[in-house]
Amino acid sequence: MGLKGKIGIALGAVVIAVAAAVGYMMFVMAPPSDLDLARSKKTAKGLYAVEIAPENPAFERNMLHGWIATVKTADGVAVEDAQITVDGGMPQHGHGLPTAPQVTAALGDGRYRIEGVRFNMSGWWEFKLHVSAAAGEDDVTFNLSL
Ligand SMILES: [Cu+2]
């Protein structure tokens, strides 16, 4: 093999090593230090105020668990007939939730039980709720750091 070939192989190895290092750094990337971890937020258009709370405050990674979402209008009136869908994922990893959480019960006073939540990795998770009720459709994204 000539010198050119050897240089080519060496450069190729460097490129692969750098790509692997960058990939690994993205994988273990810490959540942003200024991440808003509030569990009570206005929806994007301001139609609703939503609060979320885990049913088991000691939930851990990989544990299937539920959340209670409390939905109120911007004026603070409990929303009783909301249709809520759940989405989310890890923005730094480019993947969604490992399960398909569902609202399984309306508990009254604007509270809804979401079952089937599982976070299978450490890091920054987005937990997104789409709320459809009399005031209209709106979205809210919560950040969780596991
Ligand atoms: Cu991930």
- pLDDT tens digits for range 64-120: 999 999 999 999 999 999 999 999 999 999 999 999 999 999 999 999 999 999 999
How close is the Cα of 64 to the center of ligand 1, in Å? Answer: 16
CA dist 110 and 94 (Å) reads: 32
Which segments of 48-116 does DSSP mark as H helices, in order? none
How close is the Cα of 95 to the center of ligand 1, in Å? Answer: 6
How close is the Cα of 4 to the center of ligand 1, in Å? Answer: 40
Q: What is the pTM of this model?
A: 0.82
For the chain, the C-alpha Rg in angstroms (whole number) is 21
Could you tell me which residue, 1 or 59, shows the higher pLDDT?
Answer: 59
Give residue for tokens 């004026």: 75
